[in-house]
Chain A
């Protein structure tokens, strides 16, 4: 396993009084694709959202334990959450472009973080992000029309481009293809494979084939606990835990 990018130690998470995550210990390798799998409600998305402190925006949530990114505890009192989210980008389950033009969607992150100095630089970064997300050719002639006029799959790739534009180191993806048709899904997966090696990617998926296709490592969650974490091949072919075996072989879902 390569160097560790994200380390979770004894992480507990609560929505009000109910505990959603129990003692999660996990080391996510840098510049690899790591998949989280597990049945609905197992805590995989909740865990993903602790990695950029997205759960902070939900009232009544509480975290115990430590999550380190590059050996720094992101739940330390002096953490700059804005800087953290700049470093840890996120793509959501349902594509959520802003009701603005395609160009402005990409430029948004650059603007709020004041990352560019000139219009030319902005244009360049926008184009680069769209190229990185493999959507440039489809939208280059209508950069200034509304992003909501794009198809679902295009919108999702736009959201990926938007996340890439501010050059994060980590990219969190919460079931990024679950609302898309097979062709659009394939495009997203190709994109993930293209980005692998440059970004540390963590993807939540309920599609096990997808996990085998895109990820190097897989974590299996069940009822708020991490059951097993290993190279993807191993999880799917010779898992240590009987529950993992039952899940990946389709005995329950």
Chain B
């Protein structure tokens, strides 16, 4: 009797302890995210509040034309180290956008087709090699991918497209694409293989061919997951740094031409933060770039979540 009671108490303590340990670990991860948010935000805030800093770096300066081209057009310039520093975000935003678009154009079709192939068509032995091989790509350090892009891909692509500048948005976008393929692939593959076998059988039993089943049943059912993979890949592409530092040319040029060199937001922060004067306008501007990156990925992820939620309700048919 007494023995039983202690056993019960011991069990109870163990329960309590397990719960608290899990709670604390969860809180620590949430707290670190909040702290990052707080410190980046705090360092960016003088842009909005400090009058001395605002004389050279302010929101208007970031987004308004701040220079002229030799032929007299107004333009946007990022030139933080000069007599009169120029802090336009536009060339950096454009650079990030161009590299990300190229990366998505390269990686999404490849990753999705690879996922379709492995779940639907590949014989089991082949699938068992392809899946880990692609996932291994996720483990390649981005500095290695950047090196590969800088030394090998840049040469190939220059030969292929006759680029004037060897390092440009296409080269860095393609390299970014390599980094994103495993992200999109893994999530999309999971979504496709999670489509219940019963749905495939229902489709086959109605006289549908394999391609019809794939296009009309499996893809729509897996769409939320596939979309989640794309959003995740996009977030990774926007924030990825090492590859673009190495393979983009790092020239802040305001143009839509993908064959021009680019300088991305992430690469700018990485390259300049180590050498900037502490507390200067430039210093706080770099934190503002970081905060903007944070906001962009946050917004994209939120929109993604919202779309995924809508797709899910449509598929799972919440009674409306």
Q: Contact residues of A with B, CB < 8 Å? A: 52, 54, 57, 59, 82-83, 85-86, 89-90, 92, 94, 96-100, 108-109, 111-113, 145-149, 159, 162-163, 166
- From B195, which residue of chain A is reached at the shortest CB distance? A99
| 29 A-B contacts (beta carbon < 8 Å) | A52-B205, A54-B201, A54-B204, A85-B205, A86-B206, A89-B206, A92-B202, A92-B205, A96-B196, A96-B201, A98-B203, A98-B217, A99-B315, A99-B316, A100-B220, A108-B203, A109-B207, A112-B203, A112-B207, A112-B216, A145-B320, A146-B316, A146-B317, A147-B317, A148-B317, A162-B202, A163-B205, A166-B206, A166-B207
- The docked-state distance in angstroms from the alpha carbon of A92 to that of B196 is 13
Q: Determine if B159 is an interface residue (Cβ-Cβ < 8 Å).
A: no
Residue among B205, B207, B314 making CB contact with A83, cutoff 8 Å: B207
Task: State the Cβ distance, B246 to closest chain A Cβ, in Å.
Answer: 44
B207 touching A145, Cβ below 8 Å: no
Q: How would residues 284 to 295 of chain B score, 1 for a CB under 8 Å from any chain A CB and 0 otherwise?
A: 000000000000
B202 touching A98, Cβ below 8 Å: yes
Residues of B within 8 A of A59 (CB): 124
Q: Determine if B73 is an interface residue (Cβ-Cβ < 8 Å).
A: no
Q: How would residues 280 to 320 of chain B score, 1 for a CB under 8 Å from any chain A CB and 0 otherwise?
A: 00000000000000000000000000000000001111111
- Interface residues of B, count at CB 8 A: 26
- The docked-state distance in angstroms from the alpha carbon of A148 to that of B199 is 13
A149 touching B319, Cβ below 8 Å: yes
- From A94, which residue of chain B is reached at the shortest CB distance? B198
- The docked-state distance in angstroms from the alpha carbon of A100 to that of B199 is 11
Q: Determine if B221 is an interface residue (Cβ-Cβ < 8 Å).
A: yes
Q: Determine if B79 is an interface residue (Cβ-Cβ < 8 Å).
A: no
B202 touching A145, Cβ below 8 Å: no
- The docked-state distance in angstroms from the alpha carbon of A97 to that of B317 is 11
Residues of A within 8 A of B205 (CB): 52, 54, 85, 89-90, 92, 163
Task: State the Cβ distance, B12 to closest chain A Cβ, in Å.
Answer: 39
Q: How would residues 195 to 227 of chain B score, 1 for a CB under 8 Å from any chain A CB and 0 otherwise?
A: 010111111111111001000110011000000
Most buried by B among A85, A99, A113: A99
B319 touching A145, Cβ below 8 Å: yes
- The docked-state distance in angstroms from the alpha carbon of A89 to that of B208 is 12
Task: State the Cβ distance, B220 to closest chain A Cβ, in Å.
Answer: 7
A162 touching B220, Cβ below 8 Å: no
Q: Assess A82 versus B209: contact at CB under 8 Å? Given A99-B221, A108-B216, A159-B202.
A: yes
Residues of B within 8 A of A83 (CB): 207
A92 touching B201, Cβ below 8 Å: yes
Q: Assess A98 versus B319: contact at CB under 8 Å? Given A89-B205, A112-B216, A113-B207.
A: no
Q: Assess A149 versus B198: contact at CB under 8 Å? Given A100-B220, A109-B206.
A: no
Task: State the Cβ distance, B97 to closest chain A Cβ, in Å.
Answer: 35
A112 touching B212, Cβ below 8 Å: yes
- The docked-state distance in angstroms from the alpha carbon of A168 to that of B315 is 28
- From B207, which residue of chain A is reached at the shortest CB distance? A86
